[in-house]
Amino acid sequence: MTDNANARTRRSAEELAAAWEHLLYEIKMLFGTARALHNLSSGKSEERRMWAVRNALTESFSVHARRLIEILYPSEPGSDDVLAEDFFDNPAAWTERRPDESPLLRAVQGDADRHVSFARLDTTPEPQGPEAASVARDLRTALRAFLAMAPVHWISDESRLYALSIMADEIPAPADA
């Protein structure tokens, strides 16, 4: 459970349903951009023209990855932030049984401050190609566990199956990685 769990407001079914729609959007964007990055990394024919597209996809992927990591593994959540534990009647049902956060997810989450600064010069680059595929795989593991544990009265079986279908296809790392 998060450090400020006592300060968290129990959300209504309507609020959680709306939050789930936003969470589902994050899942769709993360796996959609991961697949698009894989496809761009696999072909070199339009390298120069695709530079901006690749960078936009990389940045989009990173934004959605960080959002999902913060939902699943909150570091300093605000009282109004949507967290995975909000979907459980007893938040410890998630926080005590979720998969451990991988070192890769911890590193991606730790590089969240990306504004233009001299400190940014020392950060690792945004996940691309093989690393994006690895981030997506690690998030898939945590999201599958979340969906398996979340009570059906908060996330319907139909919605759960839809989310799992978005994550179903493997995203291989490019062959030349």
Distances (CA, A) of 54 to 65, 84, 110, 176: 16, 30, 22, 17
> Which alpha helices (H) appear in the chain, and where do they start and end?
13-42, 51-72, 92-95, 103-110, 129-149, 157-166
Predicted TM-score (pTM) of this structure: 0.76
Per-residue pLDDT of the chain (177 residues; tens, 9 = 90+): 444 545 788 888 889 988 999 999 899 888 888 888 777 766 655 665 667 777 788 888 888 999 999 999 998 888 899 999 999 999 999 999 999 999 988 888 765 555 555 555 565 556 656 678 888 889 999 999 999 999 988 898 899 899 999 888 776 655 544
Q: How far apart are CA 73 and CA 65, in angstroms?
A: 12
**What is the DSSP secondary structure assignment for residue 80, as one 8-state letter?**
T
- Dihedral angle of Cα 12, 18, 23, 29, to the nearest 10 degrees: 180
135-145 CB burial, b ≥16 within 10 A, e <16: bbbbbbbbbeb
Tell me the Cα Rg of the chain. 17
